[in-house]
Amino acid sequence: MKTIILHSYKGGTGKTTIALNIAIGFAKKGYKTLAIDADLNAPTFESIFTGLKPKYKFNDLFEMQKMKAKSYTDKNAELNPPTPKDLPVKSLIHENLDLIFANSKPQFGVGLLSMDKNFHAEALKRLYNAKSEFEKLGYDYLIIDTSPSLNLASINSIIIADASLIVLRPNKYGIAGTTFLLKELYSMLGTVKRKDYIIFNQIVVGTPEKLVTQWQKHFKKRLGVETVGTIHCNCGIALNMLFGNLIIEDDTENEFLVAIDKIIKKLHHDLKN
Ligand SMILES: Nc1ncnc2c1ncn2[C@@H]1O[C@H](COP(=O)(O)OP(=O)(O)O)[C@@H](O)[C@H]1O
Ligand SMILES: [Mg+2]
């Protein structure tokens, strides 16, 4: 199983849209895929997959109190925390795609994000354990959609990933912020085996191509990070979202889907070993 995380310095760059379309893309190619909404600050799966009512959410993996309760009162099933295997639900849009939701009550997300290092050290162990349980369930790809910026919860997801897709809007702030994010990550985590990639999303029509090329070179030369996708601003995508749909329908002409397909093929190739 390969784990791919979507991350960004700022919110609204297109992480969730890209995460879900990559997940459905892998599913359509025959890979058993699990997409996790790990954006604890602003969960989105619940508003997209409105027909699904999962019993457990991603947050439940990190409920430390419930974990303690287990050792005292094993008899009471309600107090037993869910195991990772209890979390995935069928997406109903493709047989190969399962989902894990995040808890939409803001206090759950904010609470977890603001916990201290000790909490997150324990949370990281649980995440590793969850990852190996998901692998046992037969998933080929795990796609994790995170909260933007440098927070310990997202850093944990980055630590367990085989690849990260860092999504940015190409403008002065997007470039500066993403450069900062990557530098901080490298100074914090050192050189790890994970492969990082940049996706330029929502490129405003009229942006000089030369500028985009310059930005790509900037990430490659300064940080050694390759660009895997350049996607223009496309009102069709935003319109889809207006109706709560983030999955872009099959259309071979669609620049977004062409980019997604290219990213899937590149990831599949680069993560083979
Ligand atoms: N290439 C694009 N062109 C136009 N709108 C886009 C594009 N990519 C994403 N969007 C829109 O931008 C908004 C934020 O996207 P979202 O995936 O929720 O970002 P994030 O998860 O990073 O916060 C949504 O309304 C989405 O439809
Ligand atoms: Mg999002």
User: What's the whole-number average pLDDT of the chain?
Assistant: 89
pTM confidence score: 0.92
Which CATH code is given to the segment(s) 2-270? 3.40.50.300
Look at residue 247 in the predicted model and tell me its pLDDT. 73
Nearest ligand to the C-alpha atom of residue 21: 1
DSSP designation for 60: G
Backbone phi, psi, residue 38, to 5°: -110, 20
**Using CA positions, which residue lies closest to atom 15 of ligand 1?**
14
What is the CB < 6 Å shell around ligand 1?
A: 8, 11-17, 201-202, 231, 233-234, 237-238, 241, 256
Protein residue whose Cα sits closest to atom 9 of ligand 1: 14
Query: Which ligand 1 atom lies nearest to the CA of residue 17?
Result: 17
- Answer yes or no: are the C-beta atoms of 99 and 34 closer than 8 Å: yes
Helices (H), 60-171: 64-72, 106-113, 117-136, 152-159
> Which atom of ligand 1 is nearest the CA belonging to 201?
1
Which of 22, 143, 241, 263 is the best mutation target for the ligand 1 pocket, counting ligand atoms within 8 Å of the beta carbon and taking the most? 241
Position 190 scores a pLDDT of: 83
Residue 106: per-residue pLDDT: 66
Query: CA 31, CA 183: separation in Å to the nearest integer?
Result: 33
The atom number, within ligand 1, closest to the CA of 232 reads 1
CA-203 nearest atom, ligand 1: 1
Ligand 1 centroid distance, CA of 119 (Å): 32
Closest-CA residue, ligand 1 atom 24, reads 238
Would you say residue 8 has pLDDT above 70? yes
* HSE-CB for 75 with a 13 A CA cutoff: 0
Q: Is the pLDDT of residue 237 over 90?
A: no
Residue ranges covered by each domain of the chain: 2-270
**180-199 pLDDT, tens digit each:** 999 999 998 887 889 999 99
Q: Over 70: is that where the pLDDT of 213 sits? A: yes
Determine the distance separating the centroid of ligand 1 and the alpha carbon of 13, expressed in angstroms: 6
